[in-house]
Amino acid sequence: MTACDKAVVVGAGIAGLLAARVLADAFTEVEVLEQDTLPDGPAQRPGVPQGHHVHGLTARGAEVMESLFPGLRAELTAAGAPGGDFGQIVAFRFPGCWSPRARTGIPLQTFSRPLLEARLRKRVTALGNVRIRQGVRVTGLTGSTLRATGVRTLGTPLPDKAVAADLVVVANGRTSHLPEWLTELGLPQPQRTVIDARVGYASRLYTAAGADGPPWAAAMELLQAPHVRRGFMAARIEGDRLLVTLQGAAGDHPPHEPDGFTAFAHSLRTPLAELLTRLSPLTSVRPYRHCANQRTHYHRLPHWPDGLLALGDAVCAFNPLYGQGMGIAAMEADLLRTMLTRPAGPGFAHAYQRRLARLTRRPWLMSTVQDRGWQQPRPDRTARLTAAVLPPVQRAMAAEPEVFRRFLEAMHMTRGSTVLLHPRALVPVLAAAVRPARSTPDHPHLWWGHTPS
């Protein structure tokens, strides 16, 4: 890519900011167009309704972000974001057992989505060749089926005009209108796959300073088809606060009024409700329902315009329950960085979409395999097999920290899925499958699956 080009990024969320950082090394000018009015610091904004809820960042995603923004992890720590080894700071409740409390080598840092976005935005804005324009709504593409030449916009400071660009990157989230924009250029409507577990969230923020706070940085109680419909995620975030997100699948959604929220917490298998009685709420309850897995198959179109890329949730949006979104966005930006080191001639954009599809295939399968179990009227064969296999896998993870570590490596994308096929993982799983399941005692005040030594 020559160094005399202009790139336009549609969307100033996590995916858009990461893309802008990569493009800044390859283009003399990068313009980010954002419909929202952006806050000066870490605050919620209308265009990110999911920002009120617990977010997770995979270890691989954190690695990529650190490579793009050296010192980012230290900045988050200085802002009050807790961190440590996943196995030692996370209480992970499977339907029938607890995860082991053991060192895994998988780092984790917990923070609010607004804090991370604000830090990324500050870093990107500091780049001399990047400009973020707020209050601008992109209404379509300019160009033809052969090549995108820019975007059409409405809003201040770009009222009703076209913005020319050598490269357009669409990163405006799961509600992106890119399919319609492509049909306006004369391309066919892309296919879309949706796997909807009908999950709903409700979240509330609490104080968590001092001895009343929990002894972990994050905790979760997993949903699991077909019977475990209720769960939660909770994370200590900056400012000595605890963000609690209740979850319900198959339409069994947590209420968004305080008494209903508390009653839902009492119905869980962990003592979350007991913990919340010691804490003071800082916000009202915030609901969220747009949790379906959604994949738009742009790579399958017979032709793709040069000069146009799509990434992030605009292409593949995951059920937030599995914490894949931000990490995958980072890996997509890293893929773009790798591809831009070579000459980007005709077909570059189509090649990127095909490679992005391969990159997201494994996390898509990991995210949807359980959600298929909630499908109506009857789960498919893969979902039924998953429901049979998961209990012995989880019992093996609870009994063998090595199995749990390998599971985390696959989940956090630090190693391939074959890490789960090693005999050190398979043998304990097979042993757990033939042993009768035993109930695991809970320890409400410890929130771990074993008593202290």
Length of the chain: 453
The answer to whether residues 434 and 84 touch, using CB atoms and an 8 Å cutoff, is: no
> What's the whole-model pTM score?
0.92
- Give pLDDT < 70 ranges for the chain: 1-4, 156-160, 377-379, 421, 428-429, 433-434, 436-453
DSSP-assigned letters across all residues of 182-224: HHHHTPPPPPEEEE----EEEEEEEE--GGGS-SSSEEEE--B
pLDDT, tens digit, 9 for 90 and up, residues 123-153: 999 999 999 999 999 999 999 999 999 999 9
- Domain 198-288 classification at class level: alpha beta
CATH number of 6-56+113-194+292-367: 3.50.50.60
List the structure tokens of 361: 């295939």
Do 198-288 and 6-56+113-194+292-367 fall under one CATH topology?
Answer: no
Residue 287 DSSP symbol: E
Q: pLDDT tens for residues 186-201?
A: 999 999 999 999 999 9
pLDDT, tens digit, for every residue of 88-125?
999 988 888 888 888 999 999 999 999 999 999 999 99
Domain boundaries, the chain: 6-56+113-194+292-367, 198-288
Q: Which residues pair with 203 in a beta bridge?
A: 245, 286
pLDDT of amino acid 452: 35
Contact call for residues 300 and 215 (beta carbons, < 8 A): no
Contact 110, 81 (CB under 8 A): yes
Query: Residue type for 101, please?
Result: R
Residue 446 identity (one-letter amino acid): L
